């Protein structure tokens, strides 16, 4: 069977590679305490990497497990997990909103837009429907998946912005150093180099902070930064620098428009 190369670079594929027993246990549709604990832990730590189809299969498994009988204690464990996912979903939603507010005042204006009369960060994950019931397991899973991806996107976009700014300021420093031939000149060039170097250190410190946060989000795959019309923001290139700072147009995805909102 031919496998789409995009799938091999996708989060769901990396999830399967890292958790080979997960789907095997899930398809049993019978309660085993150790396996159930394993499944719950994997879902808690990897919801962001799961596709909508995978979330649907997980929801079907839990519904089947709950309705196929079992002891009251087993059903109680399932109900408790429903409540845990619901609370996790609510917290992830609030955390994503908090991350947006934190980054909004620091990210470049080119990554902002006006939505519902409010300035927001451009994002491909905008439409969320927060579950109002802790028993609607599928809705809670979808809400959780979306909020985690939304938060990751905010951080990734800010890291991308910082990368672009760092590359630009490095080019400025090199330009000034060439102008003064790499030596103190006793002119305004010395001030330009000093000020730009301080700015570079500040940007680099911020980059290390948020790049570490992004790495901790447990989102796998080379395709996590793909944005239609902009290529992969997870892997910035010189073409991105030319596009954002020097207004040199580049078709990152041929015949597709640039659109984050």
The most confident of the ranges 49-58, 94-103, 179-188, 245-254 is: 94-103
Three-class HEC string of the chain: CCCCHHHHCCHHHHHHHHCCCHHHHHCCCCCCHHHHHHHHHHHHHHHHHCCHHHHHHHHHHHHHHHHCCCCHHHHHHHHHHHHHHHHHHHHHHHHHHHHHHHHHCCCCHHHEEEECCEEEECCCCCCCCCCCCCCCHHHHHHHHHHHHHHHHHHHHHHHHHHHHHHHHHHHHHHHHHHHCCCCCCCCHHHHHHHHHHHHHHHHHHHHHHHHHHHHCCCCCCCCCCEECCCEECCCCCHHHHHHHHCCCCCCCCCCCCCCCC
Q: What are 234's two structure tokens? A: 């997870």
The pair of three-digit structure tokens given for residue 107, joined into one six-digit string: 């990210």
> What is residue 222's predicted lDDT score, i.e. its pLDDT?
76
Greater pLDDT, 157 or 258:
157
Say if residues 152 and 48 touch (Cβ distance below 8 Å): yes
Mean pLDDT, range 61-90, rounded to an integer? 87
Mean pLDDT score, 191-195: 90
User: Can you tell me the mean pLDDT for 107-126?
Assistant: 88
Q: Dihedral (C-alpha) 145, 148, 153, 154: value to the nearest 10 degrees?
A: 140
Domain residue spans of the chain? 1-261
Tens digit of pLDDT for each residue in 205-240?
Answer: 999 999 999 999 988 777 788 887 778 888 888 888
- Measure the CA–CA gap between 63 and 59, rounded to whole angstroms: 6
Given a cut of 60, whether residue 254 has pLDDT beyond it is no
d(CA 156, CA 234): 7
Given pLDDT bands bounded at 50, 70 and 90, which one contains residue 85? very high
Q: In this predicted structure, which of 43-57, 63-77, 109-123 has the lowest mean pLDDT?
A: 63-77
pLDDT for the residue numbered 258: 47
What average pLDDT does this structure show over 13-35?
Answer: 85
When pLDDT is averaged across residues 242-260 and rounded to a whole number, the result is: 63
Indicate if the pLDDT at residue 91 is higher than 80: yes
pLDDT band at residue 33 using 50, 70 and 90 as cut-offs: confident
Q: What percentage of residues in the chain have a pLDDT greater than 70?
A: 87
Lowest mean pLDDT: which of 19-28, 90-99, 247-256?
A: 247-256
Identity of the highest mean pLDDT range in 63-77, 92-106, 131-145, 185-199? 92-106
pLDDT of residue 89: 93
Average pLDDT, the chain: 85
């Amino acid at each position: 069977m031919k496998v789409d190369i995009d799938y091999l670079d996708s989060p769901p594929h990396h999830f399967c590679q890292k958790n080979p027993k997960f789907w095997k246990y899930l398809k049993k549709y019978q309660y085993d305490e150790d396996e159930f604990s394993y499944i719950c832990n994997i879902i808690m730590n990897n919801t962001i990497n799961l596709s909508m189809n995978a979330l649907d299969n997980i929801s079907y498994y839990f519904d089947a497990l709950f309705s196929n009988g079992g002891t009251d204690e087993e059903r109680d464990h399932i109900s408790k997990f429903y409540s845990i996912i619901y609370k996790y979903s609510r917290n992830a939603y609030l955390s994503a909103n908090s991350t947006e507010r934190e980054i909004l005042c620091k990210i470049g204006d080119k990554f902002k837009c006006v939505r519902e009369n409010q300035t927001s960060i451009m994002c491909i994950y905008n439409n969320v429907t927060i579950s109002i019931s802790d028993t609607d397991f599928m809705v809670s899973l979808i809400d959780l998946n979306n909020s985690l991806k939304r938060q990751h996107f905010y951080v990734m976009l800010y890291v991308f912005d910082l990368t672009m700014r760092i590359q630009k300021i490095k080019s400025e420093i090199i330009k000034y150093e060439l102008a003064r031939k790499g030596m103190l000149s006793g002119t305004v060039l010395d001030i330009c180099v000093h000020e730009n170097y301080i700015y570079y250190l500040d940007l680099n410190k911020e980059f290390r902070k948020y790049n570490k946060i992004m790495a901790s989000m447990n989102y796998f795959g080379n395709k996590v930064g793909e944005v239609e019309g902009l290529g992969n923001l997870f892997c910035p290139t010189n073409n991105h620098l030319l596009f954002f700072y020097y207004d040199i147009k580049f078709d990152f995805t041929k015949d597709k428009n640039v659109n984050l909102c």
